[in-house]
Amino acid sequence: METKASHWLVTGGGRGLGRAVAIAAARDGGEAVVVARTKAELEEVTETIRRGGGVAHAIAADIADKERTHAIAGEAAALMGSIDVLVHAAATLGPVPLEPVLETPCEDLERALMVNVVGPHRLTKAIVPSMLLRGIGVIVHVSSDAAIVAYPEWGAYGASKAAFELMARTMAAEVASSGVRSLIVDPGEMDTQMHEDALPHADRTLLARPADVAEKILAIVRDGRLGPNGARVVLSHVESW
Amino acid sequence: MSPARWLRDHAANDRLLAVHVPLGTRTDARVRDLPALLRPADLVVINDAATLPASIVVRHADERFELRLASRVVDGSAWGVAFGAGNWRTPTELRGIAPRVEEGDALTIDGTGVTGHVVERLHGRLVRVDWEVPTAQLLAAIYAHGRPIQYSHVDRELPLWAVQTPFASRPWGVEMASAGRAIGPSMVSSLRAANISVAWLTHAAGLTSTGDPELDAMLPLAEDFEIPLETVRAVGTARARGGRVIAVGTTVVRALESASETGMPRPGPGTATRKLDSSYCRRVVDGLLTGFHESGSTHLRLLSAFAPAELLTETYRHADREGYLCHELGDVNLILAS
């Protein structure tokens, strides 16, 4: 089933994969609301999209801030009308270098859970019911193999992503047959600032380009056969579609 | 009737008093019983407007005062009502004398650089302001600096999330279309499982009260709405199957009836200007899920288009006796007129 997705809301859209998804969506004819904390990054990505002839809007917000959830949803709906695709790309590793579980400050775990789980949950609650009513919509949860594999020192991030994924899968079970798809995407290792922060000595030539990963996400969103409701799609296993 | 002073945990557990007008029956129930109180083939229509934090503080010359938005924002312009000294804890009728603003006066949203000018005045306190920024920038300023409109019967400051209905989408409302609190995704699933259809429209819910009798008599002001084609089709299907059209909230009644001069709603945008009361002959809506309202309010007047005054009086007496709670966070009343 092909979905003509036109209105995108992308969190973490100021840099990395979120930025690349917003740019790719706009290039594909979609309209994107980009949410990020840093105004300069927002300006850069929306300007890039506009220069390319696309339509983009910026909302400066921290998705962990409960007071901002309905402002994000309301401003986005005012700008675009109904939202067809919600991409949860915003995430935090927490302070780097990463720490073993036994030495991770409790506050760092709390912050990881706020940004990586609680904030997305709030935004999902504000946006997805409207998709359900209309019987159309895609929620893309950008995750990581750290949600599944116990990498030493990745405890706070991994635990938050595991919770994020289970929430996505549970929601998928709950919205089954509604026309709405809740998907998990594991993009693999990408050449992003987040990767640089976590593993500064990695060989960047071996890392995927966010723009290439974004194209695969676009294909999944457009075509329900590539990413059926509840799927966990590991993009590094996919050459191309 | 006592007002609900704060949110309760599960809207599905809120009380629901069902009144069947032709049969003259009354049923004490819960919101979760709604599917059983309706019939297969019925259509439930909800309002998906999100609620703006529509109480903003503005500066005018040397004064600072509260301006409550009274309409949806269109092209950077919106109606607003000025309020005098006091805050939401002060009953609206006891607020200080509102500052007088004239056409041409400049206003600034406090804490922002967003300025505008009064371009129209319908009443001493009711003005239309053209804000000199695009709508997106104006909404961002309102979201950053505004607070939800609330009244003195509520215990604490309401956060923005507390005035959103589950399906809230476009921020058109200045107050919550509160009957919609009862209808969330689980309720929609239950209704659909019972072969009851659910459709939606967007209606810019306006102010409930200003505290000024003259101004209150003008309420509800003209309110924008938009009805999707799918909803018009759903009304036709319900009719063809012998089902009834049940509006969730008085805003849905206003939108559907305003758009139905010919007996069927027309899709698209419109503006509701008509005040509905006992003299009004309904064209589309057969039933209404609504809160319990203050005597003399425009909401209560609208109910008389669905049930005779004596029946409404008896219903409210019963609700009072049985401890139902009124106002926007309170219990609900299902009135089935046919």
Q: What is the mean pLDDT of residues A75-89?
A: 96
Domain ranges of chain B: 11-51+157-336, 55-145
ipTM for the predicted complex comes to: 0.92
Which residue of B143, B186, B224 is the best one to mutate when testing the A interface, meaning the one whose CB has the most A CBs within 10 A?
B143
Does A202 contact B at CB distance below 8 Å?
A: no
Locate A150 and state its tokens. Answer: 């116990």
Residue B209 confidence (pLDDT) above 60: yes
Question: How many residue contacts between A and B have a Cβ separation below 8 Å?
Answer: 63
Domains B11-51+157-336 and B55-145 in one fold? no
B166: closest CA of chain A, how far (Å): 7
Q: Residue A143: pLDDT band by 50, 70, 90 thresholds?
A: very high
Locate A159 and state its tokens. Answer: 């635990």
Region of residue A161 (left: phi > 0; alpha: psi -120 to 50; beta: else):
alpha
Q: What is the mean pLDDT of residues A154-175?
A: 97
CB contact under 8 A, A73 and B50: yes
Looking at beta carbons, which residues of chain A come within 8 Å of B140? 59, 71, 75
Q: What is the mean pLDDT of residues B319-336?
A: 95
Locate A72 and state its tokens. Answer: 């994000």
Tell me what percent of the residues of chain B surpass a pLDDT of 90. Answer: 90
8 Å CB contact between B298 and B290? no
Q: Residue B334: pLDDT band by 50, 70, 90 thresholds?
A: very high
Residue A238's pLDDT is what? Answer: 75
Which of A148, A31, A32, A174 lies closest to A89, judged by CA? A32
Q: What is the mean pLDDT of residues A37-66?
A: 97
* Partner-chain residue, chosen from B140, B164, B188, that has the shortest CB–CB distance to A75: B140
**Matching CATH number, A7-237, of 3.40.50.720, 3.90.550.10, 3.30.460.10, 1.10.760.10:** 3.40.50.720
Which of B29, B16, B32, B19 lies closest to B331, judged by CA? B16
Residue A3 confidence (pLDDT) above 70: no
Residue of A nearest to B185 (CA): A129
Q: Based on the residue annotation, tell me whether A161 is a catalytic residue of this protein.
A: yes
Residue B296's pLDDT is what? Answer: 74
Residue A1's pLDDT is what? Answer: 42
Residue A240's pLDDT is what? Answer: 64
Locate A11 and state its tokens. Answer: 């969190």
Q: Based on the residue annotation, tell me whether A143 is a catalytic residue of this protein.
A: yes
Domain ranges of chain A: 7-237
Looking at beta carbons, which residues of chain A come within 8 Å of B161? 66, 69-70
Task: Return the CATH architecture of domain B11-51+157-336.
Answer: 3-Layer(aba) Sandwich (3.40)
- Please identify which residue in the block is written with the tokens 């409550």: B68
Residue A241's pLDDT is what? Answer: 63
Q: pLDDT tens, A180-225?
A: 999 999 999 888 888 888 888 888 888 899 999 999 999 999 999 9
Mean of per-residue pLDDT scores for chain B: 95
DSSP B147: B
CB contact under 8 A, A129 and B166: yes
pTM of the model: 0.94
8 Å CB contact between A143 and A164? yes
A107: closest CA of chain B, how far (Å): 25
Looking at beta carbons, which residues of chain A come within 8 Å of B73? 78
Residue A163 confidence (pLDDT) above 70: yes
- Give the Å distances, CA to CA, from B301 to A187, B205, B219, B305: 58, 16, 11, 8
Q: pLDDT tens, B104-145?
A: 999 999 999 999 999 999 988 999 999 999 999 999 999 999
8 Å CB contact between A206 and A189? yes
Tell me what percent of the residues of chain A surpass a pLDDT of 70. Answer: 97
Q: Specify the range with the lowest mean pLDDT, choosing from A2-6, A193-197, B77-81.
A: A2-6
**Matching CATH number, B55-145, of 2.30.30, 1.10.1060, 3.60.21, 2.40.10:** 2.40.10
